[in-house]
Amino acid sequence: MGIKLTQAEEDMLRGKNGEACKVAMGVLLRLGNALGAQEFVRVSSVQCMAHYGSLHDAGLEWLEKLGDMGGRCCVPATQDPASIPFEDWEEMGFDKVYADKQQRLAAAAKKLGEVLTWSCTPYAVGQVPRFGQNIAWAESSAVSYANSVIGARTNRTPAGMAVCVALTGRVPKERMYLDENRAAAVKVNIRDAGELTELDYNTIGIMLGKFAGTRIVAFDGIPESVSNEGLKYLGAAAASSGGVALYHVLGVTPEAFREDPFRGQKPAEEVTWTRRDIQTAQDALTTQNPGEVELAVVGCPHYSIGELIKLADLARGRKIKKGKEFWVYTPFETRNLAERMGLADVFRESGVRILASNCLVISPFPRKYKTLMTDSAKFASYLPSEHHVELVYGSMADCVNTVMN
């Protein structure tokens, strides 16, 4: 019993590839054996975590230790967003001690040879696995997107473990890496819902996580015209309200495009959601006693260039109201694109602030806010408890109309 190692893996375990690789392989082997895996799979891409908000001093010590032992990533390994906006933290008033820790984590990630994208959407900044390819991503919305929308294979790789995968290129073969674990078990029909907006996909994601837990759902009734952003939000929200790492959409996502995701079995449970159900779930995402919105936050997961274009179109010629703010989260690369396209000028003129490669779920606030507004159901499910704020949930256009003249 236990994991059967290849020659290359045994060499790693004996330290042939250096001390850091040896330690990493030891950790993965213990974990793989604990989980009952029979072998490792080789992965082509890793998404690690290197944000101080979750890694704390322990995670920092771990990454620095691996770096000091000479560790180097052997496959492209990105990381999720940082806990500060690297470029604006000082001006915005973030705590210096906290910022220093995040900078140390950045230095550690750089020393390990990580690809410094700092994004929850690695697929939007050049890391695009192919259908069926084994990868090991960490951030839950990226995992859901890779499994569901691309058809690549990854578990929700834990922080602290992902770096071990990056150093060895190996991960225990279990759950999502095994074909038999990817079949749909339950079915959700979307009926009489009219046209589905991006906000609706966010809301449906919340409903999905609550309903499914960790079971795999196949949707019927989501049109093939659904945008990639719609599916991004659906997966992100479902991973925040439940443990969803994979969902299928009949006629849309690759493992349910032509094939039967139930593989000939009858769904163990089948439910139907209508416009009324979606509306009820949508209303519940606004907290009980919101005051006047001071700050609109969008870009969870990170806004795509398509969304930045839409936002610029909505914001053009308008200005943020006095005493209010509008923040948008997007990767460095997408921000650069927005700069080249002149969208960033529109944002500057209207007072919209881009926070590049950062994320509010894992960042402290530079100052106190009472009421926020967002177009992201994932933000809506995390921010009230983590930042003790009231929250209004609405579309991108609602956010613009609320804080802009």
Partner 1 sequence: MEKIILKGRPVVGGVTEGEALVSQDALVWSHGVYPPTGRINDVRVKLNGACVKDAILVYPYGKGSTSTSTWMLETFRCGNGPKAILNVETEGLIAIGSILADTLYGIKCPIVDRLEQNPLDVITSGDMVRVDGDAGIVEITKK
Residues contributing to the site for partner 1 (CB under 8 A): 23, 26-27, 30-31, 34-36, 49, 54-59, 61-62, 65, 138-140, 143, 155-161, 172, 174, 240, 243, 362, 382, 385-386
State in angstroms the smallest separation of the CB of 242 from partner 1: 8
Q: For residue 197, what are its two tokens?
A: 């907006």
The DSSP element (H or E) to which 92 belongs, if any, is: helix 89-92
Pair 275, 193: CB distance under 8 Å: yes
**Would you tell me the crossing angle of helices 396-403 and 305-315 to the nearest 10 degrees?**
40
Q: Distance of CA 334 to CAs 23, 84, 338, 354, Å?
A: 36, 18, 6, 10
Within 13 Å and on the Cβ side, how many CA atoms surround 296? 24
Specify the pairing of strand 247-249 against strand 269-273.
unpaired
> Closer CB to partner 1, residue 282 or residue 381?
381
Q: Which is nearer to partner 1, 35 or 271 (CB)?
A: 35
> How many angstroms separate the CA atoms of 88 and 341, rounded?
21
- Burial state string for 122-136 with b = 16 or more CB within 10 A and e = fewer than 16: bbbbebebeeebbbb
- 28 vs 115, beta carbon nearer partner 1: 28
Of 11 and 174, which CB lies nearer to partner 1 in the complex structure? 174
In angstroms, give the least distance from the CB of 56 to partner 1. 4
CB atoms under 10 Å from CB of 91, counted, come to 9
**In the complex, minimum distance from the CB of residue 223 to partner 1, in angstroms, rounded to a whole number:** 31
Query: What token pair was written down for 244?
Result: 């969803």
For partner 1, give the closer residue by CB, 18 or 351. Answer: 18
Q: Is the peptide bond before 301 cis (omega within 30 degrees of 0)?
A: yes
**Which lies closer to partner 1 via its Cβ, residue 31 or residue 185?**
31
Q: Least separation, in Å, of the C-beta of 309 and partner 1? A: 30
Q: Compare residues 62 and 118 and give the one whose CB is closer to partner 1.
A: 62
Nearer to partner 1, 188 or 362 (CB): 362
Of 1 and 264, which has the nearer Cβ to partner 1? 1
* Token code pair at residue 231: 């599916």
In whole angstroms, the minimum distance from the beta carbon of 376 to partner 1 comes to: 15
272 three-class SS: strand
